[in-house]
Amino acid sequence: MARARPRRRSTRPAPVADGRRGRPAAERPRSAGGGRGLAGWWRQRSTGTRVALVAAVLGLVALVGVNVWMGLQPPKPDVDALHSDIAAGRSGSEVTFAATLVGEPVESGGHERMSVRDDLGDVLELDYNTSLGRVIPVHAGSSILVHGQLYIDPGQVGVHCLHGQTSRGCPQPGWIQYAGSTYS
């Protein structure tokens, strides 16, 4: 006996219960989750593509997170960079260094002026605005950590912009650390 062949179906839409014919598939409205928008686009992607896209997004998020975290880290002291900035006359450089006070601080015009010596022997003046921050209880021989903006005037090398809130001429907030406290 011969096998029965399956019947071919007509490409014509079947009649609906009320006697009307349905619209062709291309003319029918799609359902809310039926392939349009982001969800539909996502479903059309292969598993490998989905994994690659998720990995790329996670990698980007990780890079942004590391960048933000690195920006939150305090600058590290670099006396060699300070010395080369002084030698090259780069006024305006952001500097961070450890220093020792060579004399007692002097109050002058709303500023506490301190003369310090870095580890390479450079002597600098620190201009700390006492109207923007509290007085630092340092004395001759005190060791401090400084972050601010280098200035080079004829015959004078110093650091200013030593506060978290400074004038427009100070692009980065500065600070002085002494005895476990930060003054800014």
Amino acid letter, residue 13: P
What is the pTM for the complete model shown? 0.60
Report residue 41 CA to chain centroid gap: 33
**Per-residue pLDDT in tens (0 to 9) along the chain, 184 residues:** 566 666 666 666 665 555 555 555 555 555 544 557 888 888 889 999 989 999 999 888 888 887 777 666 677 889 999 999 999 988 989 999 999 999 999 998 888 999 999 999 999 999 888 888 888 999 999 999 999 999 998 888 999 988 877 666 677 888 999 999 988 8
| Domain positions in the chain | 32-72, 79-183
Both tokens of 97, joined, read 């260094």
CA dihedral 67, 160, 177, 112 (to 10 degrees): -160
The span from the CA of 72 to the CA of 118, in Å, is 25
The angle at the Cα of 119, spanning 134 to 182, to the nearest 5 degrees, equals 20
Within 13 A of 51's CA, how many CA atoms are on the CB side? 3
Query: Is the domain defined by 79-183 classed in CATH 1.10.3720.10?
Result: no
